[in-house]
Structure 1
Amino acid sequence: MTLEICANSVESAIAAQRGGANRIELCANLAEGGTTPSYGQIKWCLENLTLEVWPLIRPRGGDFFYSTAEFENILADISYCKQIGCKGIVTGLLNKNGTIDEERCAKIIAVASPMPVAFHRAFDMSSNLENSLETIIKLGFVRILTSGGKENAFIGAKKLKELVIQAGNRIEIMPGAGISADNLLEIAQTTGARNFHTAAKSIVASKMQFRNEASKMGGANADEFSYEQTDADKVKALKNILNQL
């Protein structure tokens, strides 16, 4: 049983390791579903942590249909991750009609090789999950992060079970989205999956003493004096559940 933590910062990555996670999907901007972390974050995690580091390669939020410039950006980020020694990377591309972008995904696999590549929840936004699964297997991805095409993995558990059965031993199906200590056991038992993905995060209050409440760095309702960060205790609780299965 493998626990992957979606770590949105180096401090989240530290907490993931402290809690006993097997792997991190290192990213930025969780509010947008995750985007590519900085080179500095990737380098720091590789040099200071012992768990597997798989950066998310996603140049922006929104959909998964990318321009030529964005795709060039993706390939450059993948080349850096390969050069610096990442265990693998996580990405995914779609065509306008919701099918997997086979041509560009094949290019990604080639550029990354021999570094393995996982397909993220762009899969959930594809037009046919069963067909997309077969395409992703054919392309050579090693894992798919998915909620079963639903809002979260708990709601999508039935579909996840079907995907696990369809995949067999050809690729790893990893449930993710909304997984917590309250539902992990049921999701694991229902789906038959052996890899699980979650942020295991809590809200951290700012340690700033001086606070300018009039200025905003984000949206009008943004709280500038708190942020989300992986919680080591939540990671431990999740890992303990998996260790009992």
Structure 2
Amino acid sequence: MSGILLEVCVDDAKGLAAAVEGGADRIELCSALAVGGLTPSAGLMALAAHTPVPVYAMVRPRPGDFVFNAAELDIMRHDIDAARAAGLAGVVLGASQANGRLDAQTLAELTRHASGLGLTLHRAFDLVPDFAEAISVAAALGFERILTSGGARTAPAAVDRLEELVDLAAGRLSIMPGSGVTVETIDQLMPRLCVIEVHSSCSVREPATDARMVEMGFAPAVARRTDAATVRAIKARLDAIPAGV
């Protein structure tokens, strides 16, 4: 066994069940993965709390940028409370200044509010102008890991940068590659990157079966669905990496 963990992001009950069935080591629980993931409902958090693997809830109140106002910050505090009340293991946070730097003040408030929960810094990190500074901020605030594509659209497009980020982190926290991590691309990352975890949607494209739902705007023409077989396939690739690599 390689010991490299697989985190799977899901946004509904079926995806949650498929991730667990396929052998995911951890779940990132969201709604609206089509826009990068938003805060899941309290009901979905309650369901996820019964799964046999750790679950971290995304805390992001809307799509778009990561510059949050006071009202949105208050929403995020309540969403953190909901994750804690549900019994989830942690939360996934991020906040930016208008110039792309991490908003250390907002993140300090949120991480204090999330005391006792595990912490992942999400891909707001990929927008920062200075990765070394952002890693230091994240480490000082107690984040366990940074989910990142290395500043590119997908992680496989930024393997060199991801290697640099692992070096910059210097063991203070985990660099977790994510975005575009699939069965076809995992070998571009592993075992080249000295990481302990990776992140993937483990999804397949699925056309809508009800044209009326698409016509009425209730469903997209093509959606992505978490696939248990894909979870198993990526896990098998990770487990095939020799120990210590």
Tell whether the 8 Å contact from 1:158 to 1:191 is kept in structure 2 after alignment.
no
| Structure 2 match to 1:135 | 137
- Please report how far the alpha carbon of residue 50 of structure 1 lies from its aligned counterpart in structure 2 after TM superposition: 0.7
TM-score, structure 2 as length reference:
0.92
- Please report how far the alpha carbon of residue 214 of structure 1 lies from its aligned counterpart in structure 2 after TM superposition: 4.3
Identical amino acids, percent of aligned pairs: 33
| Structure 2 match to 1:112 | 114
* Letter of the structure 2 residue corresponding to residue 30 of structure 1: L
* Letter of the structure 2 residue corresponding to residue 196 of structure 1: V
Q: What is the aligned counterpart of 1:52 among 51, 54, 71?
A: 54
| Structure 1 match to 2:168 | 166
Query: May I ask how many residue pairs the two structures share in their alignment?
Result: 238
Tell whether the 8 Å contact from 2:208 to 2:214 is kept in structure 1 after alignment.
no
| Structure 1 match to 2:40 | 37
| Structure 1 match to 2:105 | 103
* Letter of the structure 1 residue corresponding to residue 237 of structure 2: I
Q: What is the aligned counterpart of 1:153 among 141, 155, 165?
A: 155
| Structure 1 match to 2:69 | 67
- Please report how far the alpha carbon of residue 212 of structure 1 lies from its aligned counterpart in structure 2 after TM superposition: 6.0
Tell whether the 8 Å contact from 1:188 to 1:194 is kept in structure 2 after alignment.
no
The answer to whether residue 211 in structure 2 is matched with residue 215 in structure 1 is no
TM-score, structure 1 as length reference:
0.92
Could you report, residue by residue, the CA deviation over 1:178-220 in whole angstroms, capped at 9, with x for unpaired residues? 0111121220222211210010111345565x846642236xx
| Structure 2 match to 1:240 | 236
Q: Aligned partners of 1:152 and 1:207: how far apart in 2?
A: 29
| Structure 2 match to 1:2 | 5
Corresponding residue SS for 2:135: helix
Q: Aligned partners of 2:118 and 2:81: how far apart in 1?
A: 12
- Please report how far the alpha carbon of residue 56 of structure 1 lies from its aligned counterpart in structure 2 after TM superposition: 0.5
Q: Aligned partners of 2:175 and 2:56: how far apart in 1?
A: 16
Structure 1 residue ranges without an equivalent (≥5):
none
- Please report how far the alpha carbon of residue 2 of structure 1 lies from its aligned counterpart in structure 2 after TM superposition: 0.3
